Each structure stands twice: as C-alpha cells, then as structure tokens.
C-alpha cells in the first residue's frame, strides 16, 4: 500500500480535538474504519480543515498523505500529514 490516498470526500466527522475524513475510495485500501484523522494540534489545522470543507462542498478530489514512515494499513488509524485538492 501507499502513504497517500485520493478521492472525493463523502463524510466529515467533527469531534473534540479532531476531524475524521472519509473518502469514496475502496475501504480495503483505506486506513482503519476508512477514516483519516486531522488532529487539532496539526500546525496547519485551520487551513487544512478549510480546504477540506471547500473540497467536500464542491466535490473536488483530494489527496491525503499520512504522517510517519509507514504505509496506509486497514488495521491502523491514519493521521493526516498533508492535504492537496484538485480544482476541477
């Protein structure tokens, strides 16, 4: 598996201290529960969250890169390191 995954956002789950992002990808290719976690402690939290909201509202494709050296694993929670949006 890779350390990034792309798709369109189907769900944003806001919780205390974090935002969970669900993409329209194959769940077997995604992280645990197919949710990427953007933590509030992320240095660019406000910018990343704003970008994710715009992408979700406009159905723009996003690419999410996870933190750490590991690859995306369906049994492990994935923390967001970087977010990119394709404006189409």
> pLDDT of 25-71, one tens digit each?
998 899 999 999 999 999 999 999 999 999 999 999 999 999 988 89
pLDDT of residue 64: 96
Q: Where are the beta strands (DSSP E) in 16-53?
A: 18-23, 35-39
Answer yes or no: are the C-beta atoms of 5 and 68 closer than 8 Å. Answer: no
pLDDT of residue 68: 87
> In this structure, what CATH number is given to the domain that contains residue 37?
2.40.50.70
d(CA 80, CA 58): 21
Torsion sign, CA atoms 31, 32, 33, 36: negative
pTM to 2 decimals?
A: 0.91
- How sure is the predictor about 1, in pLDDT bands with cuts at 50, 70 and 90? low
- Using the predicted structure, report yes or no on whether residue 88 has a pLDDT greater than 80: no
**Where in the sequence is the domain holding 14, given as residue range(s)?**
4-85
Domain count, the chain: 1
């Amino acid at each position: 598996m890779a350390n990034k995954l792309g798709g369109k956002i189907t769900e944003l789950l806001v919780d205390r201290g974090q935002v969970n992002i669900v993409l329209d990808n194959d769940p077997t290719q995604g992280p645990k529960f197919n949710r990427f976690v953007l933590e509030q402690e992320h240095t660019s939290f406000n910018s990343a969250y704003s970008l994710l909201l715009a992408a979700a509202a406009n159905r723009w494709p996003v690419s999410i890169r996870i933190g750490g050296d590991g690859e995306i694993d369906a049994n492990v929670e994935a923390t967001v390191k970087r977010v990119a949006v394709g404006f189409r």
